[in-house]
Each structure stands twice: as structure tokens, then as C-alpha cells.
Amino acid sequence: MLKIGSHVSMSGGLLGAAKEAYSYGANTFMIYTGAPQNTKRSPMEKLKVKEGQAFMKAYGLDDIVIHAPYIINLASCKEDTYQLARDFLKLEIERTTEMGSNYLVLHPGSFTTETLEYGTQRIIDGLNEVITEDTKPFICLETMAGKGSEIGRNFEELKAIIDGVKYSDKIGVCFDTCHIHDSGYDIINNFDEVIAEFDRIIGLDKLKVFHINGSLNVRGARKDRHANLGAGEDNPKGKDHIGRETLYKIVHHPAVQGRPFILETPWLDKKTNLYKEEIAYLRGDDSEL
């Protein structure tokens, strides 16, 4: 069975998140355990975890994904930023475990004023301080678009991090279609070759999660701007340069089945998203989108 869902709000705790996901016709979903831009976190006892897990079991939602906050930058040369990143990542691993998720998606980090080699080693050192043999969720390094000095713009950069982590069996990868496209990989015409290259360099066993997004940019733009699936020029958020047909083929590709596929496509306005329609399309209901 296809595992398909979207990012949902945690404003109502895990129970609210599960109910929102179910309303979209999803059977999995992704959440942040708090705001992605800051360190403010509600105590776990206020997040209705047991109630949410009971709802998920009753309505067939599972294999959920947690996303680490954006403010974690393990590649930073600033010691206070680096210390916050390590401490906060450790906390997020604990919260992910309590939520019952097997995946914590992490942006690797940006080296800012230093070098790629410096930033890569900082990430390795930070992960080695935080990850132990008892760590339960996979820390899933996300493929990045390559804007600025962010690390993870190609498979080789992710491989360099994985190879340096002591407990590398605890490391996975989150494959973001918008980021991969924007970084220069041709997933439109050559997804077979792209996924074969991933397997050669990193290994398909490390591929744990997909983010399914269109892109507002042409391939190789290195800008990271998500688009709704197959959106045209009349879409208020802009045109998708990947195309819904490509994303459908990726979701149904035999080499990548069994992973959670998570939509992070834009909301059209503060109250309107296309998650229900996009999920139905990816499942194979041609009446949608």
C-alpha cells in the first residue's frame, strides 16, 4: 500500500495532527514537534500523544515523520549556534522517540563563512556527539537545493557525512524532489539513472523518506521554491517546472516503494491547500487535479 500524506499542524497535538491528515485521505503524515523557527516547545504531556496514537491505530495512519527545526545548524562556525544545534537535536530525538516515529528529518547545515570541508566535519562531529547505539529513530539527512553554503546538494556530500558518523546505521536520507531538481539532477527525464546513482553512492537501504514537491524553478536553479503538483501559470503560487506526471511516476517507481511520501506543497492562502486533491492524484484517482 502506498504511504502518502503531507505536513500537518501540531496545534492540536498529535491527535489534532492525525485528524487533519485523515481529513486529507492520508495514511501517514509529517509534523514538527514545535515551531520550526524557534526553540519554544510544549511539554510532551500536553501534546496528546497517546490519544493521537490511538486515533492513528483506529484509522490506519502510521509510519509518521518528524521534521527537525530549521534553526539547527550543525555546520556553523559560531560556537553558541553549534552548541544550540547539538542540544536541540538531542531534544528532538527524544521527542521523536516519544512520538513513536522512526524518522527525524534534518537539514544538514550551512558552512556560511567557512568551507565545505569545515562544515562537513562539524556536522559529523555534532552527529557523533548526539547519536548513540541506543538512538531509535533514523536521522534522515535531507537532500538540499544547493542555495548559499548549504551542504547536501549532491549525493557525494551526504555520503561524506554518513561515512564519518560512528553509528552510521542510525543515519538515513530524505529525498526531496524539489531540492533534487533545483540542485541539478534530472528527475524528469532520467529518474531511473538518478535513483541508480543514489544506490551506487549511498545505497537504497539509506533512503527512508520522500518529500514530494513541485518546483517553481528550472532544473539547476539552486533556489528551493516549492510548487503545487503540475501547477500552471494561473496558480497563485506559480508554475511547477517538474510536473505532476513526473511526481506520480516517482511515487510509483518500483525501486522506492515502502517509504513514506510526504507533500510539502504550498497553501494557496491561509485557509486553503491542495493536499486532499494531490494525495488522491498520487494514489491514482485521475478525477483529482
Sequence ranges of the binding site for Zn(2+): 67, 107, 142, 176, 179, 211, 224, 226, 264
160 CB-side CA count, 13 A: 16
Cell triple for 219: 532544473
User: Phi and psi at residue 227, in whole multiples of 5°?
Assistant: -130, 155
User: Phi and psi at residue 19, in whole multiples of 5°?
Assistant: -65, -40
Of 250, 289, 252, 251, the C-alpha closest to 273 is 289
Q: CB–CB of 216/241 below 8 Å?
A: yes
Three-class SS state of 250: helix
* CA–CA distance, 106 with 37 (Å, rounded to integer): 13
* CA–CA distance, 41 with 33 (Å, rounded to integer): 7
Which residue shows C-alpha cell 550551512? 110
Q: CB–CB of 122/82 below 8 Å?
A: yes
Q: Which residues are annotated as a binding site?
A: 67, 107, 142, 176, 179, 211, 224, 226, 264
